[in-house]
Chain A
């Protein structure tokens, strides 16, 4: 029996989220980090303009994508980041 599109979407988003969580833990050198959609630089103090670019490079390498200038600058929280990666990877 085939999975429904909704179930597939949930699975792919969960896999991106899982991969993204591992990237955040590595970049910020903190294995206790648990990401959530509304998480932004306000919730994660180490997320500054320097670590943002380290994060972008790690995401690009991990997901095999290249983010655009406007996308790099315009990202505000984890939810937007996951949605962007999902759209760019076509998952």
Chain B
């Protein structure tokens, strides 16, 4: 079921009604599990296509329950088997020597299911949470709101949402939740059409230039435009989806964690990951970076090794994050680019602080031109690294030639200067707009203070978005993160 379909809208209305009527914890668990199974059922064309997925889910439950009573080594074994099962389900090229099934099966949502199973197994083993029952496990791991592409909510938070009795929705709360859903549909159904259209016009030109191994400023400019168009499209599509999910969750009485926090306002590459796909970044921090860095620090406790082991932990974490995104060697390159970016960023920060002194570096970081430069470098680097996601497998070889690499480096430089100009101009424009923003906000506040106006305004926005989606041409472009 696509989340931009009429079927999904009808399903959401059903879920909102059912979950608002189910008052007790037991009733809500039963209701959400039933809704999950209905939602899940729409992804499988035949019962056979669902068998591997069902086996993975059941094995995940066995892993979680077993984690409670095994030793540390036992847990490591459970996690290794879970990783292997996940890699086999996703058909990673690294393990293509393993036998596959003679029929097609569905893997939608498996990547996020994997995150939840590992989180449950580790936390149950350490007795940070109580082992869930099978129905609690199904209600959490298959939650229809977050099933396809996250966010990755922690089990404790999810359980709390279901245990806390739902409060009666006020018109203002309803208005805010509906506004988020409408805004999400606007981004996915209208804006992402435009960004996808722009990207699809540039992409073939990039391939043609790469095939002819042309190196020129024009080619670098076209590549830069394609990279940035894809980045913007990814952000619009992914954040739009999150608005729909979070808004629907609120209407169901479930608070879903935020997954984006204005990533375009990042101050550096490290900070970018606290703003982009936040819950997945946190999962990697909790279950890869922290334990790895802790173990390395215990093994090599000398202070002069701290920077080195920090770099190793960062690189491994971001490399795994990259590999998680896809099954081919291209994603190893993507992971290596992320790892390299974060290591260089950290090294630079340490050296700059050592050279300029704490106060000197702090002063530098507060200068508008420097903030704009760091922001431009980060966003440009991410845009170029994301090439790994949009290049088709049949065109991947075109990006491995010296001419292509030169074009990409030139495009990176081109993007930095372009984004820097926008960011620096944006800083001064923002400063100016704050002066005129207050009277505008005061005027708008007159409307927002009237509760009876909220539903009217929501209805107007819904109508506008409905018309715009139909004008834009119906179904939204395929949601990219659904593939992970």
Contacts and interface: CB of A to CB of B under 8 A. Distances in A.
B126 interface: yes
Interface stretch (B8-16, B20-28, B287-295): B287-295
A57 B310 contact: no
Contact of B286 (A46, A57, A73): A73
12 contacts: A46-B358, A49-B290, A50-B306, A50-B310, A68-B123, A69-B123, A69-B128, A70-B286, A71-B128, A72-B286, A72-B294, A73-B285
Contacts, number: 51
A45 B297 contact: no
Contact of A56 (B123, B126, B129, B294): B294
B298 interface: yes
Given A69-B123, A73-B285, A53 B290 contact: yes
B287 A69 contact: yes
Given A73-B285, A73-B286, A57 B298 contact: yes
Interface secondary structure of A, over-half rule: helix
A54 B127 CA distance: 23
A72 B290 contact: yes
Interface secondary structure of B, over-half rule: helix
A68 B290 contact: no
Q: Interface range on chain A: under 10, 10 to 19, 20 to 34, or 35 or more?
A: 10 to 19
B296 to A, nearest CB: 9
Interface residues of B, number: 24
Interface string B275-316: 000000010011101110110011000000010001000000
Contacts of B127: 68
Given A54-B306, A70-B156, 19 more contacts: A46-B358, A49-B285, A49-B289, A49-B293, A50-B346, A53-B294, A68-B128, A69-B122, A69-B123, A69-B287, A69-B291, A70-B122, A70-B126, A70-B129, A70-B154, A71-B128, A72-B286, A73-B290, A74-B286
B306 A69 contact: no
A60 to B, nearest CB: 9
Nearest to A56: B294
B17 to A, nearest CB: 34
B482 interface: no
Contacts of A69: 122-123, 126, 128, 286-287, 290-291
